[in-house]
Amino acid sequence: MDEIVVVDSGSTDRTLEICGERNCRIVRAPWLGYGPNKRLASTQRPTIGVAVDADEEVTRELAREIQAVLSSHRPRAA
């Protein structure tokens, strides 16, 4: 399974508990705004990734589609 990285800015719900159950890597950072925190998350992985907001749920169908796209990804020269 691919690594899951979660940027946490002091959540008070079950985020950290759920991350622990799924062996996620947690990056703790202050809330600097949506853009800065999302950019921080993107620097945590050297390869292509998918960003999902905390209030979104990935259905099984969407997960299969994401996996298909990522598995067919061919890096392009810059």
Q: Tens digits of per-residue pLDDT, 10-59? A: 999 988 999 899 888 999 999 999 889 888 888 887 666 677 776 778 88
For residue 30, being part of any structural domain is answered with yes
For residue 52, being part of any structural domain is answered with yes
Q: Please name every residue paired with 27 in a beta bridge, in sequence order, or none if there are none.
A: 7
For residue 76, being part of any structural domain is answered with no
The more confidently predicted of residues 4 and 54 is 4
For residue 46, being part of any structural domain is answered with yes
For residue 11, being part of any structural domain is answered with yes
For residue 32, being part of any structural domain is answered with yes
> pLDDT value at position 74?
61
> pLDDT value at position 78?
45
For residue 42, being part of any structural domain is answered with yes
> pLDDT value at position 10?
93
The domain total for the chain is: 1
Domain with 26, as residue range(s), is 5-71
Please report, rounded to a whole number, the percentage of residues in the chain having pLDDT higher than 90. 28
For residue 78, being part of any structural domain is answered with no
